[in-house]
Amino acid sequence: MKTDIKQIELITQYLNGELSHFESQNFEERLQLDNDLQQLFNEQKRLIEGIKRAGLKEDIRIAKQQYVQTKWLKTIGIICIPIITLLVVWISFNNKSDLEPTSNQTDTKSIITEKKATESRESLKKTMVYIDTIETAESEKVETKQVVPKIKTEPKQENTLIEKVVTIKNDTISEFESIGFNTERNESLKPFFDQVKKKPQIIEVNTEEETSITLVEGTKITFPKHAFVEENSNKLVRGNIQFEVTEYYKLADMLLGNLSTTSNDKPLETGGMLYINATKKGKKLKLKRNINIEFPYANPKPNMQLFSGNQNDDAINWIPQVNRTLEVISFGKNEENVEVPFDIVENVPVFPGCQGENQELKDCFNAKMKDFFVQNFNLEIAENLKLTGINRINSFFKIDENGNITNIRIRASSVTLGEEMMRVIKLLPKFQPALQRGQPVTVPYFMPFDIDFPGKDKRLPMVTVGSNEAFEDDLNTPRDSVKVDPKNFNAYHASAYAFSNANLGWINCDRFVSGWKSKIKYKFKVKNSKGLNVKMVFKSMSSILPSKATNNGVDFGFVPKDEEVVLVAIKKVNDIFYLGVQETQITDISELEFDFKPVTLEELKSEMKKLNDLF
């Protein structure tokens, strides 16, 4: 069976083209000679191609669904266009006769009205385009001018990072893009969100140095040297680049950015979101090396994870980032019990006698550990037990901040074996402790130890030897079970969530919300719900849920019963924005009336700011 696994791995590598030329030739020759291998190869190939088929079918199915949807949209579009055109013409004529002069529009009024007359004709075309190619809608965004000062970061000196605190005036939305200029009259809120969303902070970064920047709201980002490559050509980027970051920590910013906190419809609690983008001379860049991102916070919460976001027209979906473990960093020294898994810790504990870079140290540690057990374990004890087959002894222990072994727990088929293992572990030398961000930390370690006796394998019940302290046991949990977060960090006195990350775009520091007991389907009707955008803000935590528009109302899906929430509704009718804010407790309701007030953009923004205290 063992050889089978090896063969299968080889076959997979061969099929993926991962073998070198020489290796694959070698493999092909063997394939010619070895009948068994050939059979296995054919079987494996079929299996792999079979699973690929399943994947392809799934992709095609989704594509088909979208195709059917677009077809319908088109049909609806064709029906709607004449109606919309009539409406647009009618409204523009109406406006011409009695356009209300507003204070900041007096100068441009005449231009606006003229523009409108011509644009009303164009809008027919526009609407068609809008329906036809939903994807290109992105490029139709109303462009706004950005006046953001550029700041240069200084190269580092004498091996210490110079932290440049960048202070940029977050200039508010330019007023000239006001309501009258809106050419799209299909009541979509997308242009609105494009208008009010927060402007990025643009910073010029020198990629030749390790650089650390701190942004207005406290986000700290550290790049290693030469961290960027061009997105298309993968060429290394040198010199200065434009780095854009938008920080979303305040509720108002998130609401105005049309952001919400769900991951595949599961609610998240957020610790802040960022939108990061990097360009050089207009060319998009991507990361080659990880950058460190620190999210500041006031009240720390455990189990924070990094998510990356996919934004579409309606909502943003957050996807848990791969292998980006949270690390809560503390600026105080008296933190306790920070535990970092062996595979993740920045500097592994050092086994006396090991040298070299981190990876070498890691390998050396594992190798020396093995040797140590093989040398010191008294096999006679095992032989006296008259065991047969493979006997496994699993040992768990922690290497604490001082390099000492603690929390030893052993699972073995007999107490005698376990006790012998315990004796060996206690013989281990003192280690140099593991370091995370320069601080010594505790590292859990798991060591499986197999003793192979002649004879048949017997599955003996396992007994536990050692301390009774609660300790994560990876192997005892069924492999298929979902494990929420194996990396629990316990430092509550920290003041930033730190991650390293290899992707730009939407980034969110979040955790899944759990522990809701009773959920109900929350869906209600709203009068005149067309073009309505409703978000649910929780009073008890930093979480925003989006809603789906239904025929005549909105649908939030399943939400916790009796939770105190604030519903924030925005809609646009005839180019006037209406805001409705409703505090409520979640119960089963069928209809809800928002007290819509007409607001200007400025008023809307200040109303949103009032909500900031909720987070």
C-beta of 459 vs 483, nearer to other proteins: 483
C-beta of 463 vs 475, nearer to other proteins: 475
Query: Which tokens hold the place of 605?
Result: 């923004």
Position 51 contacts other proteins (CB under 8 A): yes
Task: List the one residue from 52, 121, 169, 527 that touches other proteins (CB under 8 A).
Answer: 52
CB of 57 to other proteins, least distance (A): 7
Instruction: Looking at 98-211, list the stretches that DSSP marks H as alpha helix, in order from N- to C-terminal side.
Output: 109-132, 190-196
| DSSP string for 11-47 | HHHHHTT-S-HHHHHHHHHHHHH-HHHHHHHHHHHHH
Q: Which of 332, 225, 302, 223 is nearest to 511 (CA)?
A: 302
CB of 52 to other proteins, least distance (A): 5
Reduced to 3 states (helix: H, G, I; strand: E, B; else coil), residue 4 is helix
Query: Which tokens hold the place of 84?
Result: 């919309």
Position 284 contacts other proteins (CB under 8 A): no
C-beta of 193 vs 307, nearer to other proteins: 307
Position 96 contacts other proteins (CB under 8 A): no
C-beta of 185 vs 324, nearer to other proteins: 324
Burial of 218 (0-12, 13-18, 19+ CB in 10 A): middle
| Residue ranges in 16-45 that form contacts with other proteins under rule CB under 8 A | 16, 43
CB of 200 to other proteins, least distance (A): 26
| Residue ranges in 190-209 that form contacts with other proteins under rule CB under 8 A | none
C-beta of 468 vs 481, nearer to other proteins: 481
| Residue ranges in 455-514 that form contacts with other proteins under rule CB under 8 A | 474, 479-480, 482-484, 486
C-beta of 132 vs 163, nearer to other proteins: 132
As beta bridge partners, residue 262 has 267, 317
C-beta of 11 vs 434, nearer to other proteins: 11
CB of 487 to other proteins, least distance (A): 8
Position 321 contacts other proteins (CB under 8 A): yes
Rg (the chain; Cα; Å): 31
Task: List the one residue from 224, 300, 320, 557 that touches other proteins (CB under 8 A).
Answer: 320
Q: Which of 606, 567, 560 is nearest to 583 (CA)?
A: 567
Cα atoms in the Cβ-side hemisphere of radius 13 Å centred on 346: 12
Rounded Cα gap, residues 535 and 538, in angstroms: 10
The strand ranges marked E within 454-495 are 463-466
C-beta of 60 vs 374, nearer to other proteins: 60
Is the CB of residue 61 less than 8 Å from the CB of residue 125? no
Instruction: Looking at 428-571, list the stretches that DSSP marks H as alpha helix, in order from N- to C-terminal side.
Output: none
CB of 62 to other proteins, least distance (A): 6
CA 55 to chain centre: 24
C-beta of 100 vs 135, nearer to other proteins: 135
Count of residues engaged in binding other proteins, rule: CB under 8 A: 37
CB of 472 to other proteins, least distance (A): 8
CB of 79 to other proteins, least distance (A): 20
Position 430 contacts other proteins (CB under 8 A): no
Position 322 contacts other proteins (CB under 8 A): yes
Instruction: Looking at 172-285, list the stretches that DSSP marks H as alpha helix, in order from N- to C-terminal side.
Output: 190-196, 251-256
Rounded Cα gap, residues 582 and 592, in angstroms: 9
- Give, in order, the Cα–Cα distances in Å from 583 to each of 83, 260, 530: 37, 18, 22
Q: Which of 529, 520, 540, 523 is nearest to 580 (CA)?
A: 529
C-beta of 107 vs 450, nearer to other proteins: 450
The H or E element spanning position 608 is helix 601-610
Q: What type of residue sits at position 236?
A: L
Reduced to 3 states (helix: H, G, I; strand: E, B; else coil), residue 569 is strand
C-beta of 507 vs 554, nearer to other proteins: 507
Position 100 contacts other proteins (CB under 8 A): no
The contact pattern for other proteins, residues 56-95, with x = CB under 8 A and - = no contact, is: xxxxx-xxx-xx----------------------------
Catalog residues that contact other proteins under the rule CB under 8 A.
Answer: 5, 8, 16, 43, 46-60, 62-64, 66-67, 320-324, 343, 474, 479-480, 482-484, 486
